Amino acid sequence: MARLGDLCPGTPAAAWIRDARWCGAREAFVGSRTPGSRSEPLRVEERVAVQRILLVCRGNTCRSPMAAALLRQRAARHAALQHVTVDSAGLAAPTGEAASPDAVQVMGRRGIALGAHRARQVDAALVEHADLILTMTPEHVSRLCERFPNAAGKAVTLGDYAGKSEAIPDPIGGGLPAHERCAEQLDSLIAPRRRVRRAAHRSKEHTG
């Protein structure tokens, strides 16, 4: 299972993705693009460059915009990811609505301005344009693939893609604490593994 942290070292945007609930496709290699229809599920031998990532939740007012903002922040800090563009949308978005005040506050604590965000509905153009679609729950993947068959092969939950197989609960209605927990969960899924590896290595050195 690939982690978002794998997209940083080595070849830009190169990582194996295995058994990630790809709506029918069992594995794919993300690295270099080859000709072929993007509307069909990815096969083992097919390759596609991850240049456009779409984050999807239900309303596009908290989870997906927070995830997109955190991913943009990380991409800006790593040369190998600076070619990647990140968008977000919702399956039932109140088009034009601002991000939830709690989401704005939580992101502000992390040095990210979310005040200009406006919710938008996921549509066929966004799905077609995306190379990788990351959702918050398995239900989102199912609904997305039912509505847009060409999402099959490139839609997966963020949790599965990060190798943790965990859904990201909707913080709406839970106030600031729920949004903070959501942001922490998103951050842990998007954080590069190299930090963990360095920490584990240092710990081993100290105990050895």
Catalytic residue among 21, 52, 118, 170: 170
**Nearest 10 degrees: Cα torsion 31, 32, 36, 40:** 10
- Three-state secondary structure of 71-139: HHHHHHHCHHHCCCEEEEEECCCCCCCECCHHHHHHHHCCCCCCCCCECCECCHHHHHHCCEEEECCHH
Among residues 58, 63, 72, 143, the one annotated as catalytic is 63
Q: From the candidates 3, 6, 8, 57, which is the catalytic residue? A: 57
Catalytic annotation on 143? no
* Annotation marks residue 182 as catalytic: no
* Cα–Cα distance measured from residue 138 to residue 144, given in angstroms and rounded to the nearest whole number: 10
The reply to whether 63 belongs to the active site is: yes
Active site residues: 57, 63, 170
